[in-house]
Structure 1
Amino acid sequence: MVQTIRIEAAARERAGKGAARATRRGGMVPAVIYGAKQEATLLSLDPRDVMKELHKGGWQSHLYEVAVAGAEPVRCLMRDVQFHPVSDQPIHVDFQRLAAGQKIRVKVPVHLVGEDVSPGIKAGGVANLVRRDLEVLSDPDNVPDFFEVDVSTAEIGDTFRWSNVQDHKGTSPTLARDFVVLTIAPPVVVVEEVVAAPAPAAAPAKGKAKGKK
């Protein structure tokens, strides 16, 4: 199950660039929650909370619960963050409200099974993960921790696709094709380049040969 991250926020009454600038002058980051056919909710966030999430990485796949005093927390996704062109500090955050039954777009890591017995890997082949994370649509309450691919019988040159993932765990891929997840690449052969030593320079002639009279 995906972890729900709670963020405390304050309500913001006025929209527009002037109101947003005033929010920033007060040391806060303006934000908005939109979607699910509801009126947009204007917020202000502590910039430290925003930076904490950005430093984690993968913030677009996390599930957030934005809490405003006096209102029910809102389950949403952080969809976009705008940054100051000079300081790189966040200056605006967009959240997407989740509707009932709506799936979320997440990235799930790939784990390999059977590497220690794979004939191809034993022969020197290398498991080349084309996609270390798979982007899928998932129920927000049942996001997989990882996907498994069994390579125990893999030979050099084998290719594993989405259809080879052992259990899709109720998710569907965002790509509408049976994409490549990993290949068993042949071993890398290192060829040492031999540089020939330069030929010794010819010795200079000691003098001209005397001709016969």
Structure 2
Amino acid sequence: MAEGFELKAEVRERTGKGAARALRRTDMIPAVIYGNNEPPLAIAIPWKPTSMALYAGGFKTHVWSIDVDGKTIQALARDYQRDPVKERLLHVDFLRVTARSRVTVNVPLSFVGEDECPGLSQQDGVLTVVEHSLSVEAGATAIPEHIEVSLAGLEIGSSIHSSSLSLPAGVTLTNEEDFVIATIAAPAAEEIDDEAPEADEVPTTDEDAAEGDSETSGDAE
């Protein structure tokens, strides 16, 4: 299970664009917590730690423990908005979760075992990644940090399929069809023409020679 984030929040008494702008001027940003058959809760959260979490990784897959006036609410960040120019975080939507909740999330893939992959370590092959993450269904409080994909024993021409993945307990793929995750491709061949003349060694044809003689004779006149 991935480690979660902790955050302190305040209940927002006012909503709307004007209130949101005033809030952002104090280095706080508006957010809302919804779901679990409870009414939405408008909150204000500190901009700096929330932004640091956004760039730390796992923003949408790690469980957030949000302290709202002394009450801890567990949630997942489901969506966020950023300023299109400054890219500053503007708003976050959180979904309430419990230990019994199951959610659909995208989990990144981690490719391991390159040293044990003959296609890469001995045959100079190239790993071509088709899918960098997978959509899975998992317990909200047991979302894996990543899913490992082993490259051990693979030769050039091998393909890794979704059906061959070893998923953590309680985690299932949302796509039931078998599909390619990655391939081990042959190295690109470099075409070298040994007989191509150098730039300063362009061969002279009979036609070129004739033109040269004509120019020489013209200069003599």
TM-score (structure 1 length as normaliser): 0.81
- 2:8 partner amino acid: E
- Give 1:34 shift: 0.9
Tell me, yes or no, if structure 1 residue 125 matches structure 2 residue 125.
Answer: yes
Cα 1:42–1:184 shift into 2, 3 Å: same
Give percent identity, aligned residues only: 32
Unaligned runs of 5+ in 2: none
Looking at structure 1, the residues matched to 117 and 24 of structure 2 have their Cα atoms a distance apart, in angstroms, of 56
Number of the residue aligned with 1:46: 46
- Give 1:84 shift: 2.9
SS in 1 for 2:213: coil
Number of the residue aligned with 2:64: 64
Tell me, yes or no, if structure 1 residue 204 matches structure 2 residue 213.
Answer: yes
8 Å contact 1:60–1:77 — kept in the other structure? Answer: yes
- 2:96 partner amino acid: R
TM-score (structure 2 length as normaliser): 0.79
8 Å contact 2:99–2:141 — kept in the other structure? Answer: no
Looking at structure 2, the residues matched to 7 and 148 of structure 1 have their Cα atoms a distance apart, in angstroms, of 29
> How many residue pairs end up in the alignment?
206
Unaligned runs of 5+ in 1: 209-213
Looking at structure 2, the residues matched to 164 and 179 of structure 1 have their Cα atoms a distance apart, in angstroms, of 10
Number of the residue aligned with 2:36: 36
Looking at structure 2, the residues matched to 198 and 186 of structure 1 have their Cα atoms a distance apart, in angstroms, of 36
8 Å contact 1:108–1:136 — kept in the other structure? Answer: no
Number of the residue aligned with 2:147: 147
Cα 1:77–1:145 shift into 2, 3 Å: closer
- 1:11-62 superposed Cα distances (whole Å, 9 cap, x missing partner): 1123333332332344421111111111111111111122111221341222
Number of the residue aligned with 1:93: 92
SS in 2 for 1:18: helix
Cα 1:136–1:18 shift into 2, 3 Å: same
SS in 2 for 1:23: helix
8 Å contact 1:32–1:93 — kept in the other structure? Answer: yes
Number of the residue aligned with 1:211: none
Looking at structure 2, the residues matched to 26 and 17 of structure 1 have their Cα atoms a distance apart, in angstroms, of 15
Number of the residue aligned with 1:7: 7
SS in 2 for 1:155: coil
Cα 1:26–1:187 shift into 2, 3 Å: closer
Number of the residue aligned with 2:79: 80
- 1:100-123 superposed Cα distances (whole Å, 9 cap, x missing partner): 51223141432333x444443323
